[in-house]
Amino acid sequence: MTSTARYDATELRAALTGQLIEPSDGGYEVARKVFNADIDRRPALIAQCASSGDVAAAVSFARTNGLEIAVRSGAHSMSGASTVDDGLVIDLSAMRDVKVDPAKRIARVQGGALNSDLDAAAQEHGLAVTAGMVGHTGLGGLTLGGGMGWLSRKAGLTIDNLLSAEIVVADGRTLRVSETEHPDLFWAIRGGGGNFGVVTEFEFRLHEAGPMIRFGLLLWPYDRGAEALRVLREVVADLPPDVNAMIAGVDAPPAPFIPEEHHLRRCVGVLLVGFGSEEEFTAVADRIRSGSQPLIDATMPMPYTVLQTLFDESNCWGHHYYEKSCLLEEFTDEAIEVILEHLPRRQSPLSVLLTYRLDAAYCEQDEDATAFGGGRSPRYALFLIGNAPDPALLPAERAWARDFWEALRPMSMGAGTYVNGMYEYEEDRVLASYGAAKYARLAAIKGQYDPGNLFHRNINIKPA
């Protein structure tokens, strides 16, 4: 769809209770910015919606006038899916209300809410649901692709805890979807991305977590990396459900608990989080120490809300980003060799390798219960994130991530990956991520609810 049609923006302006921003308006330059500074697009219109009625009006206006649509929640899409040149951005950032029912352990969350909004409201009652690791990420995009986080092993993916949703579909209708209402569409939005409409409200099941957790950061220098990573793979593959771990390639942060002489030292290591007893958490840390004594060994109690914002500063707005991801069934010696070969080649101190261990509650959901395109057997999800505070660094970080990814491909679980970790939306990789049968079912549902592919600025499923 292109924006060649002529339109009268006053029609949409009159229909909105929120704001409509055009390029001539004073707030346009701020309103059009997104998280990844490498994405520099100029929408024709930005509809800052205040209600599902506003969203429905914006969708109908775009469809009638031939405007391409981008949907913005937290604007965190590294690939720039939340903005568009010359089209209409449906901006949900004013819709961030969160209502928690602590007795039922349910949260109702508007479509523009950020991870930090949900965390703050739920933690007042010692409750949480799986969400991402950066507080200013939008819950909308995170959820629709699956949703991984520190609670994935304890509570499953974000979509595994989605009870219902309110969604505006391509013909302008607002639907409530759940296991009993439009169950086909409810299945599709749990992993099928933004292909099926604009979600204006999510209803989540909550779990007990926090308000205090145990946190650990154990790091080793590269020259001891092989030894450390072999120990980590043994421990991380056999964790109790209330402990999670992320294997990482990072620079030691300039934090008060890190000796100054090790600040920004390039390391491999593990981030440990414990939601259960201190004894259980300590036993895991001790297993690691007994196998390979770390150079940096910091463990401490921490508020859950602080855990959820640990990466906020290093993943701030205005940096230039690029990402590649893949899935490994096993953390093999060959994979360790590739990791230790490629980690030293990054130039930006903020570029990282982050590795989720996906098992326990993640694997308890039936493979076909949702549209999630990542598979439910135990595995590792690797994210290679190029993070360049200076745009001049980005070409090197992009090349680093691509070369690293290419080297990992021979040991990866096919061409598929977690769709939220895709930067380029290659059609063959999208198909491989979902598998032929699941993709065909998604395409059929897309054909029913969005036959004209109005919502295509995403990991696109073409309508059957």
Topology (CATH) of 212-421: Vanillyl-alcohol Oxidase; Chain A, domain 3 (3.40.462)
Q: How far is 145 from 374, CA to CA, in rounded Å?
A: 10
Domain 98-209+438-449 has CATH 3.30.465.10: yes
Q: How far is 269 from 246, CA to CA, in rounded Å?
A: 8
Q: How far is 82 from 69, CA to CA, in rounded Å?
A: 9
Q: Look at strands 45-48 and 88-91 and give their pairing.
A: parallel
Q: How far is 357 from 370, CA to CA, in rounded Å?
A: 20
In this structure, how many other beta carbons lie within 10 angstroms of the beta carbon of residue 151?
24
Q: Which of 122-136, 166-180, 200-214, 417-431 has the lowest mean pLDDT?
A: 417-431
Task: Convert the pLDDT of each residue in 4-29 to its tens digit.
Answer: 447 899 999 999 999 999 999 999 99
pLDDT classification of 157: cutoffs 50, 70, 90: very high
With vertex at residue 374, the alpha carbon angle to CA 459 and CA 149, rounded to the nearest 5 degrees, is: 95
Task: Convert the pLDDT of each residue in 132-142 to its tens digit.
Answer: 999 999 999 99
Q: What is the predicted pLDDT for the residue at 1?
A: 45
| Cα four-point dihedral sign 22, 24, 25, 27 | positive
Q: What is the predicted pLDDT for the residue at 256?
A: 87
Q: How far is 364 from 285, CA to CA, in rounded Å?
A: 26
In this structure, how many other beta carbons lie within 10 angstroms of the beta carbon of residue 33?
16
Domain 9-91: which CATH class?
Answer: alpha beta
| Cα four-point dihedral sign 63, 65, 69, 73 | negative
Rounded-to-10 torsion of CA 55, 460, 117, 360: 140
Task: Convert the pLDDT of each residue in 360-369 to its tens digit.
Answer: 999 999 999 9
Is a pLDDT exceeding 70 seen at residue 266?
Answer: yes
Q: Which residue has the tokens 């409530």?
A: 176
Q: Which residue has the tokens 């949702």?
A: 370
Query: Rounded to an integer, what is the distance from CA 101 to the centroid of its chain?
Result: 25
Show the tokens assigned to 28: 């346009």
Task: Convert the pLDDT of each residue in 373-394 to its tens digit.
Answer: 888 999 999 999 999 999 999 9
Task: Convert the pLDDT of each residue in 271-307 to its tens digit.
Answer: 999 999 999 999 999 999 999 999 999 999 999 999 9
pLDDT classification of 190: cutoffs 50, 70, 90: very high
Is a pLDDT exceeding 80 seen at residue 193?
Answer: yes
* Surface-to-core class of residue 180, CB atoms within 10 Å of its CB (0-12 exposed, 13-18 middle, 19+ buried): exposed
Residue 294, CA distances (Å) to 216, 222, 335 in order:
12, 11, 21
2 versus 59: which is more confidently predicted?
Answer: 59
Is a pLDDT exceeding 90 seen at residue 425?
Answer: no
Is a pLDDT exceeding 90 seen at residue 427?
Answer: no
Is a pLDDT exceeding 50 seen at residue 207?
Answer: yes
- The stretch 36-51 carries a mean pLDDT of 98
Residue 345, CA distances (Å) to 222, 331, 352, 384, 401 in order:
12, 21, 11, 12, 10
In this structure, how many other beta carbons lie within 10 angstroms of the beta carbon of residue 374?
24
Is a pLDDT exceeding 70 seen at residue 3?
Answer: no
Q: How far is 449 from 170, CA to CA, in rounded Å?
A: 7
* Surface-to-core class of residue 303, CB atoms within 10 Å of its CB (0-12 exposed, 13-18 middle, 19+ buried): middle
Question: How many CA within 13 A on the CB side of residue 123?
Answer: 18
Domains of the chain, by residue range, sit at 9-91, 98-209+438-449, 212-421
Quote the percentage of the chain above a pLDDT of 90: 93
Q: How far is 325 from 371, CA to CA, in rounded Å?
A: 19
Question: How many CA within 13 A on the CB side of residue 394?
Answer: 14
